[in-house]
A = this chain, B = another copy of it.
Amino acid sequence: MTKTPFPKLSEMEGSAWAGFLRAHDLVTQRLDAELRASNDLALIEFEILLHLARAGGEKRMAQIAHDVVLTGGGVTRIVARLEKLGYLTRRSCPKDGRGIFAVLTDAGWAKQRAAHTVHVEGVKRLFLQNAKHDELAVLSAFFDRIVSRVRAKEQSRDDACALDKPTTKRGGKFPQTG
């Protein structure tokens, strides 16, 4: 009990936080628009194709959900979309009867490659370009720290399970990534 009398952010803290939120919204908005205009793909759809490609062409639904921070239901629907467009196929997992693999088709590989150029160019122009070379390492380390700490807490919270508040009201977004 040493402190906590009056919580407040310094000007720089507030600026960093606000900048983080606005920068994210503006950059993803623009990049999404560019990918749609050039390749008729939403940013989230491209990212799933990219993760699949990086994994050699296939990945399980739950793993995709973890990679892109989405709920299982959300992944089911996006994958269904991409399947209907012919970019991937579903295949059941032989080792685990419950599991489903999303598998890139030839068209999916091609689409991923086509959109990749626009994506890389956009990320550089909208995001990376704004960091001086020696700042990139700071940014990367910072974000990694955030992600691993939040995920560590998720883990330990799952372990300590049960008797947690039911949380959630007025059912909006931002759920547990179940």
Give chain B nearest CB distance to A112 CB in angstroms.
Answer: 13
Contacting pair B26 A151 (CB below 8 A): yes
Contacting pair B174 A33 (CB below 8 A): yes
* Nearest CB in chain B to that of A35: its residue: B174
Give chain B nearest CB distance to A153 CB in angstroms.
Answer: 8
Q: Bin chain A's interface residue count.
A: 35 or more
Interface membership of chain A positions 135-178, coded 1 if the CB is closer than 8 angstroms to chain B and 0 otherwise: 11111101111110111000000000000010111101111110
Of residues 1 through 60 on chain A, the ones whose CB sits less than 8 Å from some CB of chain B are 7-9, 12-13, 15-17, 19-30, 32-33, 36-37, 40, 42-43, 47
Number of copies: 2
B residues near A42, Cβ cutoff 8 Å: 170, 172, 174
Mostly, the A contact residues are helix
Give chain B nearest CB distance to A149 CB in angstroms.
Answer: 7
CA A19 – CA B124 in complex, angstroms? 15
Contacting pair B140 A16 (CB below 8 A): yes
CA A110 – CA B6 in complex, angstroms? 16
CA A170 – CA B43 in complex, angstroms? 13
